[in-house]
Structure formats: C-alpha cells, structure tokens
Chain A
Amino acid sequence: MSGKQPVLAARGVVAGYHRRAVLNDVSIGVAPGELLAVVGPNGAGKSTLLKVLGGAINPYSGVVELEGRRLSDFDRRTVARRVASLGQESNCAFAFTVMEMVLMGRAPYLGALRLEGEGDVKIAREALEHFDLLPLAARAINELSGGERRRVFLARVLAQQPKVALLDEPTAFLDLKHVADIFARLAQMRHEREMAVIATLHDLNAAAQYADRIALLKEGKVVGCGRPEEVLTRENLRLVYETEIYVGRNPASGALAILSAAH
C-alpha cells in the first residue's frame, strides 16, 4: 500500500445475499492516489466486494473502514462526498440530459431544496470535458449509445469529487481508444486530487497495464494481492481461471501481456 494509510479498507469481510456468503474473509485496502484492480472469473465476488466497500450491502462480519472509521458510522451523504460508485446501471427511465446526469454527482453537496450553483456547473463541465462529452451535454441520456452512456456515468463519478472511486467494469462497452483515454483521465485525477480507484476489470491486460496493484479473487477469497507481476503469474492464473494461460510482455509498452493458451 506504498506505505500510506489506506483511505478505504475491508477487514475480514464476510458478505453476500440472502444469508449466503459470496465473500469469505476478504481484506484489502486502497491508498490515496492508488489504482487497485480487482480481477477474477465470473462469480468470484468482484461486484459484491465493490458493493460492500460502497456501503450498499452490509457485511455479515468484518468491517469496512473509511479514513480509519467504520463506514457504517457515517451518514449516507457524508459517505457520498468521499466515495463514488459506478455500478452496472446502463439506462434511465426518464430523458434527463447528459448535463443533468453529471450534475447529479453534485447532490451530496447540496441542501434539499437547492439548485446547483455556478461552482457545481463548472465542475460538471470539466467532468464532461474530461470524457469528451461537452458536445453531447444537451442530449437526452437515453438517446446515447452504450459506450457514450458509460462515459456519462464516469463523468458523474468525477463530478462527485470523491476520495475513492469504486468502478464496476468501467471499460465495458468501450473501444480501445476510450479505454486508454479513461485510464489516462483516471491517472490525472489520481495525481491531481489523490483520488484512489478500485476497479473491477474483466480485461487482465488492462489491469496489468494500468493498475498499481491487483487483487485476484476466486470464489470469494483473495488469492493474491500485490504488484501486477507478482499476482498475474502463470501459476496463479491457471489456478484461478482453470485454463492454460500465457504470460509474456507487450513489446510496445513493456507491460504484462496475458493470453489464453488453451487449445
């Protein structure tokens, strides 16, 4: 954890749905400015872990700590000013404009009857600009493509100005250019504002390329957690994904390159 105190951490968390544990004794933490990727096969508990960290579901045992205090001791709005989540949502029942969607990220900062002020609009505009969305600001959210919508939701997370962003598959629906762009924007936020990011990623190569650390999950347990080259080893991946995997180096970037080696 690069020596710094974690801003958000799970300690010994057991959690799940309908009394059935999906996560078993999970402990991870993220330091300010760090990008932690959570990887693992389908059903490993990646999304559940993000929901526990965001307070959407309470653990059966263990604790989640935000800035060293129990998450459950904070009220919702205080948490929302520190932790922003991007879930699997993909649409909205009503035709809000893109700008309105992003301004919703300012809600935790506003009293019940207040409209967004100039400062909020400026923050939302910057977030839109970050994701090349300014030309779409006046469009209705449900007219956009899946990838455009994904970027709108990411812009909302930025507008929320959190200390930690919890991103569930942030690059789903996106092409390679936008994936690279999004990680570049996130890196900028991490450096400028010390924002920590925990992202679940299906794409192991993206995880290897962009993450500071990687947590590898299997069946609700952390199999490995550390720098990409420590965690994404051929042995670990074969154990977790139950298939042959080739681990090499990308000749262009020098990052790990992970390919299926199954016949």
Chain B
Amino acid sequence: MTSQSAPIRLPPPDATGQRPASATPAAQPYLTRGRMITVLGALTAVLAAISVLSLLFGSVKIDMLRALTTPASPDHAILFVARMPRVLMGAVVGAILAAVGAALQALVRNPLAEGGTLGISSGAAFGAVVALVLSYRLGLGPGAVPVAGFVAALVSTLAVYRLGQMHGRVEPFSLLLVGVIFNTLWSALILLINSVATLYQTRSILFWLIGSLEAPTYREVIAVGALGLAGFTWLMWHARDMNLLSLGDEPAHDLGVEVDAVRRAIFIATSLMIGAAVSVSGMIGFVGLIVPHIVRLAFGADHRLLLPASFLGGAAFLVAADLLARIVIAPAELPVGVITALCGGPFFIYLLRRAGHQGIAV
C-alpha cells in the first residue's frame, strides 16, 4: 500500500513496514519502555520538587538551618512533627486516590468515575465514623477504623456496581447516578451518627465530609502507605487487563482476560486503598478524576503507564493542593478537600460536556 495522499502521522520508514531507526521513542503511537522511563522519571522529579517546596513553606515561617541543626528548636518540631508527616501523608493519599480513580474508570469504562463520584469514599468514611464511635464505646483497637473503612468501601462499590447495571450490562449513566445517590445517603448517615453520638476524641464531622490532611502521625503514614502500595501493586498486575476491559467485557474475554477475576481484583484492591486513605484523611474529592484525565491526555491511555503515572501525579497534585491550603489564608489553614473540590467541580462539568460531545455514553 502507499500513503502519499493520506495524512501521514508516522515517519516515512514506518509506512514501508520497516522498523524506524531514527524515530524517537516518544514519537511512537504506542507505549514503549522509553516513554515509561521518561514519564515516570519526570513525574518523580516533579513530586520531589513539590515535596521540598511543601517542607520549606507553610502557615508559619521557619528557619530551615535551625530546623535541621538544632533538634530542640521549635523550627525542628514544625518541620519534622508537623510538616514532614503531612507532606508524606499528602503524597500517599493523593497517590492512592488517583490510581484508584484510573482503575475504577477502566472498570466502568467511564472517565467520570472515581471514589468520590461513585460514592465509595463516602461509604468508607461512614464505615470509619462508625468504627470510631464504636471503638470509643467498646475500646476497639486503632486498626478497626481502616478495616471498617475497607469493608464499607467494598460494600459500597459492589452495591453501586450492581445497582448501576441494567439487564446485566453496566450502564455508565445510571451507574454515576447511583453513585451520586449513595454519596448523599452515606453523608446523611455520617451526619446522623454525628448527631446521636457526640464524637469526643474523634475528628470533626467536617474532617470526614470535606477531607483534610491535618496532623497525621508517622505511624499512620507508614500503615496507609503500605496498604496503598500493596493495592497499587495488585492493580499494576492487571494493568494490561484494564486496557482490554475498556473495550468491553466480551472483547476482553475474547482476548484472554478472566473478566470476573480481574473485576474482583479491582473491587478489592480499590476498596482496600480507599478505605485506608479515607480513614486518615476523610473524603478528599476529585483527585481521582483530575489526575488520570490529565495523565491520559498527556501520555496516552495505556493503563501500564496511566496507573503509575497517576500514582506519582496524584501524590504531587495533593501535596501541591495541601501546600496551597496551608498558605492561601495563612496563618489560618483550609482543609485540602476545599481546594480539590474547587478545582474538581468545574473540571467534572467540563468532562461531562466533553463526553457528551464525543458521543461517549455517559
């Protein structure tokens, strides 16, 4: 065949079927090792830079030299007791939320899906609040909160997924509606519990509903980080399956995917990750929507890059949003969920309208 008349997007050697020797990896219309290394390397650098900035700046000014050299100084305490765990937790939670968003979008074949819009985060928050009240009354251990968050997230995911189906098919539009309704229901239940049980010693209701990174401990960072990494690894194992799943259940099956097994893995891994993240930071919305979308636009739709790039990009995004939350009305602070919701709301509407234009069934 020839390609003189057609618009040529490829370097000419491609058109003859030979391997292009000169083309750069980034120019290839498919995922290459080179693109993965470049993108993930660059995102790691961005995350590192934003993290350093977040340690340098905050609602109060500190002397970095004194903080690093004088362990007894207040500067040292602010850097290592307040800022460092908060930056680390922001990275962990942002990474989790964004990677989960990308995986859920593949599962339901809809770029508008994420923990928040599907009502899974609020389910996890409800579970965590119940566990907090009970642990205060019954003396359960600290592990009860993330476990309850995980269980409630899983129940919520399965319920939304089931109820969003019509005649055995996932209907993207009804799925989103069911998710939105669940979100409202869970939030109402959280308010209800808050009214009947005064949450002494627990975080404020606003914390759960808006989401905040205030005052995490290193212990929490390590626990949530470990769960997040475990869930992420599990998702990565199925990254290519997610590519195939986004074609539809039947094509995925025909291409060798054990569809039910992969779906189960995504359900459990994402619930585990959301349960862990929400139990320490409440419902931080829209990270899972914004980050995968930008990553997809910039680096392509292949989940083998989309998942890790969202993981790193989500970390960088939430750390940056939290930095903004800490300095924008300094010396007071905003909950970071306010920032993500303010960015995310308009973004959601933009995506919804764009999807409508492209004829994607939303």
Contact = CB atoms under 8 A, between A and B. Distances in A.
A99 B14 CA distance: 12
Interface string A85-129: 101010111111111100111011010110110100110011001
A160 B6 CA distance: 26
B62 to A, nearest CB: 43
A217 B317 CA distance: 58
Given A87-B248, A100-B31, A105-B255, A115 B6 contact: no
A94 B1 CA distance: 29
Contacts of A113: 236-237, 239, 304
B255 A100 contact: no
Interface in B219-243: 236-240, 243
Contact of B360 (A112, A136, A142): A142
B36 to A, nearest CB: 8
Interface string A60-91: 00000000000000001101110111010101
Contact of A115 (B8, B32, B296): B32
B32 to A, nearest CB: 7
Contacts of A132: 1
Given A76-B257, A139-B9, A100 B244 contact: no
Contacts of B1: 129, 132, 134
A87 B243 CA distance: 17
A96 B256 contact: no
A96 B243 contact: yes
A212 to B, nearest CB: 24
Interface string A119-157: 001100110010010111111001000000000000000
A56 interface: yes
B304 A137 contact: no
B251 A89 contact: yes
Contacts of B3: 134-135
Contacts of B15: 134-135
Contacts, number: 133
A54 interface: yes
Contact of B110 (A80, A84, A93, A116): A93
Contacts of A138: 9-10, 29
A64 to B, nearest CB: 14
B301 A116 contact: no
Contacts of A81: 256
Interface in B72-115: 105-106, 109-111
B260 to A, nearest CB: 11
Given A76-B258, A93-B110, A97-B300, A121 B7 contact: no
A262 B302 CA distance: 52
A116 B255 CA distance: 15
B256 A107 contact: yes
Interface string B21-49: 00000001111110010000000000000
A-B interface, 8 closest residue pairs, ranked by CB to CB distance from nearest: A80-B256, A138-B29, A135-B6, A77-B256, A85-B254, A108-B256, A138-B9, A94-B301
Interface of B: 1, 3, 6-10, 14-15, 17, 19, 28-33, 36, 105-106, 109-111, 172, 236-240, 243-244, 246-248, 250-251, 253-258, 296, 300-302, 304, 358-360
Given A76-B253, A89-B251, A135-B3, 8 more contacts: A56-B253, A80-B254, A93-B105, A99-B29, A104-B247, A113-B237, A113-B304, A115-B304
28 contacts: A51-B250, A56-B250, A56-B253, A76-B253, A76-B258, A80-B254, A83-B254, A87-B251, A87-B254, A89-B247, A94-B105, A96-B300, A96-B301, A97-B300, A100-B243, A104-B244, A105-B255, A107-B256, A113-B236, A118-B19, A121-B19, A134-B1, A134-B15, A135-B6, A136-B9, A137-B14, A138-B9, A142-B360
